[in-house]
Amino acid sequence: MAHKILISGGGTGGHIFPALSIADEIRRREPDADIRFVGALGRMEMERVPAAGYPIEGLPVAGFDRKRLWRNIPVLFKLWKSMRRARRIVRDFAPDIAIGVGGYASGPVLKAAQRRDVPTLIQEQNSYPGVTNKLLAKRAKAICVAYPDMERYFPADRIITTGNPIRHALLECEFTQAEAKRKLGFAPDRPLVVALGGSLGARTINESIEASLPMLAANGIDLLWQTGKLYAAECAPKAAPYSNVKATAFVDDMGAAYAAADLVVARAGAGTISEIEALGCPSILIPSPNVAEDHQRHNAEALSSHNAAVMILDADARTRLSNTIVELINDPQHRRQIAEAAAAMALTGSAEAIAEQAFKLMKK
C-alpha cells in the first residue's frame, strides 16, 4: 500500500525548493506515494507547489509582529483557525509521516500530527532555529539539520546532519563560465556580479546596488541585477543608463546565473547559502535583520568565520558594498579561496538523506 506523506511549510523559495526536492526524491523511490502539501494562503507555495505537480491546501496563518505586539490579535485568530484546519487535514488524510520544512504553516500541521501520534520529521535549514521548531523538536522523531553543533537547540539523539536540499536544475547545469555569460547576454571576458534579492526583492540590496552602479561601470564590471517583483518598476529606470547592467525581476535560469558569476551578492537565507556552498561560489552576504531570531546573521557568520563568504551587515551595505565588490573582483586569488572554502562546507545528497530518514520512520 502506498505511503501517505504530508509536507508543510513555505513562505519563501528557501523553504519551498527544499520541500519540493524532498517530495521529488520520495516520489522517485516510491512513484505511487500520495504526497500532499500544506502552505500558507497568499504565499508563493500556493502557486509553486501545484506548478510542480503536487496538491496543496492553504492555512490562513500569518507571522507574529514582534515589534508591534498590539497587531497580533488578528494573527492569534488566524492561528486558531489554522490549528483547527490542520487538525482536520491530518485526521482526514491520515499520513504515515508529516515533514515540516519551516514557514508559517509548518507549526500547526506538525503540532496536529504529533497529537495524533503521526511521526514527524523536521528539516531545520538555519544555523539558529526558530521558536516553533524548538518546541516541535521535543516530540519529533527526526531532526535533519545543515549545520554542526545543533545539539545546543535540539535533542542530540534525534539530530541527523543532512544539509539543505537544493534545486536539481542547479546541479545539472553544465555551462562553462564563458558559455553561461554568453547565454545571459554578457561578454565572457568581463567580470560579472550577480546580485540576488530573492523572488520579492530586498530593499537594502537594491539600494546598495543602485549606489554601486557608477563604480561598477567605471571599473568595467558587469551586473546581473535580480530586483525582485516588488522593486522591478523602480529599479529598471535606474539601471537603464548603464550598458553593463541587466535588471530583471526574476532570473529564469539560476543555474546559468551561478555558473556565470565571478561574485554573488545575496541575502543569507539558508537556501541561498546551500546553493552557494554546493556550487562553490564566492559571495558577499548581507543578512536580513527582519527575520526571526536574526537567523540570517547566524547563517552568514557560519560562512564568514571560515573565510567562505564576506559578510556585510545590512546597516553598512549602502556605504560598503561598492568598495567591497571592486576589491574582490580585483583580487581573484581571494575570490578563489572564498569559493574553495564555501565548497568545502557543502553537504551533498541532502534530499536523498532526508527521504531515507522519512522511509525509516514510516517503516517503524
Q: What value does the mean pLDDT take over residues 31-53? A: 92
Same domain? 186 vs 147: no
Q: Is 164 helix (H, G, I), strand (E, B) or coil?
A: coil
Half-sphere exposure of 74 (CA within 13 A, CB side): 6
Same domain? 160 vs 196: no
Cβ proximity of 316 and 208 under 8 Å: no
Task: State the pLDDT confidence band at 358, using cuts at 50, 70 and 90.
Answer: very high
pLDDT digits (tens, 9 = 90+) for 107-135: 999 999 999 999 999 999 888 888 888 88
Helix 73-93 crosses helix 106-115 at what angle (to 10 degrees)?
A: 50
Same domain? 219 vs 321: yes
Number of domains in the chain: 2
Cβ proximity of 43 and 14 under 8 Å: no
Cell numbers at 278, concatenated: 554546493
Comparing 2-11, 51-60, 195-204, 338-347, which segment has the lowest mean pLDDT?
Answer: 195-204
Residue 147 CA to residue 293 CA, distance in Å, equals 16
Burial (CB count within 10 angstroms: exposed 0-12, middle 13-18, buried 19+), residue 322 = buried
Total-model pTM: 0.83
- Using the predicted structure, report yes or no on whether residue 63 has a pLDDT greater than 70: no
Residue 157 CA to residue 139 CA, distance in Å, equals 12
Residue 66 CA to residue 23 CA, distance in Å, equals 32
Task: State the pLDDT confidence band at 68, using cuts at 50, 70 and 90.
Answer: low
User: CATH code at 161?
Assistant: 3.40.50.2000
Same domain? 16 vs 94: yes
Same domain? 160 vs 175: no
- Using the predicted structure, report yes or no on whether residue 277 has a pLDDT greater than 80: yes
Residue 217 CA to residue 245 CA, distance in Å, equals 9
Same domain? 240 vs 130: no
Same domain? 250 vs 358: no
Which one is predicted more confidently, 199 or 119? 119
Same domain? 144 vs 189: no
Same domain? 126 vs 223: no
Query: What is the tally of helices (H) and strands (E) in the chain?
Result: 15, 13
Cβ proximity of 303 and 317 under 8 Å: no
Domain that holds residue 43: 4-165+349-363
Same domain? 85 vs 131: yes
pLDDT at 132: 84
- Using the predicted structure, report yes or no on whether residue 333 has a pLDDT greater than 60: yes
Same domain? 207 vs 327: yes
Same domain? 116 vs 51: yes
Q: What is the CB neighbour count within 10 angstroms for residue 320?
A: 17
